[in-house]
Structure 1
């Protein structure tokens, strides 16, 4: 008898799901430190200046934006992502007692969001939320094919190692592990969609805390650098967790990894909205900027459930 996704719900304990979720995070983040090629190194003998500025990189140091470090880390998180997916596959095989690798593969693809691309409109939900920043870019002539947009420069931005990591690879692998793998084990444990939306993103947020060490060293290893590292980590924890709420909702609602991936990539490209700077830069358009920001929030609330509805999502009840 063929086992369906619904047959598995409740076959895993909540404690086991928590342990697996933490294990996925440990495997992913830990992969960045298992090798000398992936680990960062800092010269602690360098005299640093104060003033809140990033210090000059030394030749004997390895920073996170160095091309060789990025390449090594991309390889490491690729292996880590495959391991996490393999654990999910083994779990499904064990719970279904299936001897058919093809059946387990299809079931794993369904849970991990590879079985469909999701509704086309689901990929536009996040851009609606960013209507305000997009309007500010329009005012500055920075949107594609406007006067300040340069095709060669923008192309280089996405094809550099930093761009490949930040806009393509990191969004995909992070969504695969922290969204698909984590949500899969919680779904199998019978965790409700609301609990998954509001609890699982904390794992994603905390997984970024290791960046504090990098910030502390790059900004001088002093009290000011420590404050910057702590505040930066808290801020990153907040916005990665907030984004995690959205990405988890999109993933569960669509049952597809692709919309969560494109949302993640889009947010990385846009960065955190800076309405204060935009109001100062375009004082003659202050009211319009505020109005478009509000329109984006209202529009986002209106389209979120409508544009992400997917009748065959295994994670959501079949009603809009």
Structure 2
């Protein structure tokens, strides 16, 4: 019995260290290409500094993150014990199966859009929603590296590393609800590297820390939501579509409401609260494991 406890403790130790290693390696992979890239276009607003939006930097980081996506599952395959896989295969624990896939692609997206009912109302009133019907906008977007980073590479790589590869390791040591809030803490830390870019961009230490702390808080909360979707639906694609949607809309700009006429302002504010209420009300029923054919039912 003591040997079993020692074995369990070692499993948790190695799993925890692996998650910490993957977190810092993911961030470190973004900075192994150390070079000063200058903005030479007319949009430059700051002195010469390493620019995270420079095309060469983005391409290099694409390669680095892709390598991390190849490395991360090695830890998962190596460290997950057979005893952990009580309810399904490792592939299912990592969120990949055909049953319920269509539901996982649609319902979590609609659920997340409900939370953003206020900002979506502003888009509708302002008429910017019409841009989504223009094929030229979509074609140009897929040719833009910054757009591909924010809408494709970042969501896929982060959900793969922090959800598919890390969650099975965390579930060996923690109950599912605790894992929902522990993994996202590492996910939030992974976004704290932006303080370096903010300082390089001319921000003061106080400003850079405030912005980074806000990003840390926001990404940690989103990470918990994403992990919740992952465990409830049992699908990789459920948190992925939510991640893409949130990256696209960004954090709501509440002050933008003041730019609208009074009546429209009232409608927008009502929809902000209505969206939050509907999201809370629908969160549990719309993520029911039965909808997605999730036989693991790790979080009920």
> TM-score over 0.5 for the alignment?
yes
Contact kept in structure 2, 1:55 and 1:218, CA below 8 Å: no
The 5 Å alignment of 1:245-260 reads: 245-260=224-239
Q: CA deviation at 1:214?
A: 0.8
Q: CA deviation at 1:276?
A: 2.0
In the TM superposition, what is the alpha-carbon distance from 1:166 to its structure 2 partner? Answer: 0.6
Structure 1 runs of 4+ with >6 Å offset: none
Match of 2:17 in 1: 19
Cα offsets for 1:49-105 (capped at 9, x unmatched): xxxxx84354xx54111111111111110111110012211224xx339xxxxx9xx
- Contact 1:197-1:245 within 8 A present in 2 as well: yes
2:96 pairs with 114, 117, 127, which one? 114
**Matching residue of 2:109:** 123
Distance 1:313 1:28 in 2: 31
Instruction: Give the corresponding residue for 1:233.
Output: 212
| CA offset digits 1:9-58 (Å, max 9, x no partner) | x7974333321210110221121223x3xx35378xxxxxxxxxx84354
Deviation at 1:226, TM superposition (A): 1.8
The 8 Å contact of residues 254 and 310 in structure 1, kept in 2 or not, is answered as yes
TM-score, normalization: structure 1? 0.79
Match of 1:69 among 24, 45, 57: 57
Residues 230 and 313 of structure 1, relative CA distance in 2, 3 Å threshold: farther
CA distance in 2, matches of 1:55, 1:280: 26
**1:150 offset after TM fit, Å?**
4.6
* Shift, 1:109, TM fit: 1.9
CA deviation string 1:112-157 (max 9, x = no partner): 11224353412321111001100010010011468xx754235423
Q: 2:143 aligns with which of 147, 152, 159?
A: 159
| Structure 2 portions without partners, runs of 5+ | 1-7, 39-43
Counterpart of 1:80 (choices 62, 68, 81) is 68
Question: In 2, Cα distance between the equivalents of 1:176 and 1:257?
Answer: 8
**8 Å CA contact 2:11, 2:79 repeated in 1:** no
SS of the residue 1:316 aligns to:
coil
1:7 corresponds to: none
Q: TM-score, normalised by structure 2?
A: 0.84
Question: Alignment partner of 2:166: what SS?
Answer: helix
Q: Which residue of 1 aligns with 2:46?
A: 56
Relative to structure 1, the CA distance from residue 12 to residue 125 in structure 2 (aligned partners, 3 Å threshold; closer, same or farther) is farther
What is the count of residue pairs matched by the alignment? Answer: 279
CA contact (8 A) 1:11 1:188 kept: no
Q: Could you tell me which residue of structure 1 aligns to residue 167 of structure 2?
A: 183
Partner SS, residue 56 of structure 1: coil
Question: CA contact under 8 A between 1:28 and 1:80: conserved in structure 2?
Answer: yes
Q: Distance in 1 between matches of 2:196 and 2:36?
A: 11
Please give the alpha-carbon distance, in whole angstroms, between the structure 1 residues aligned to 2:50 and 2:131: 37
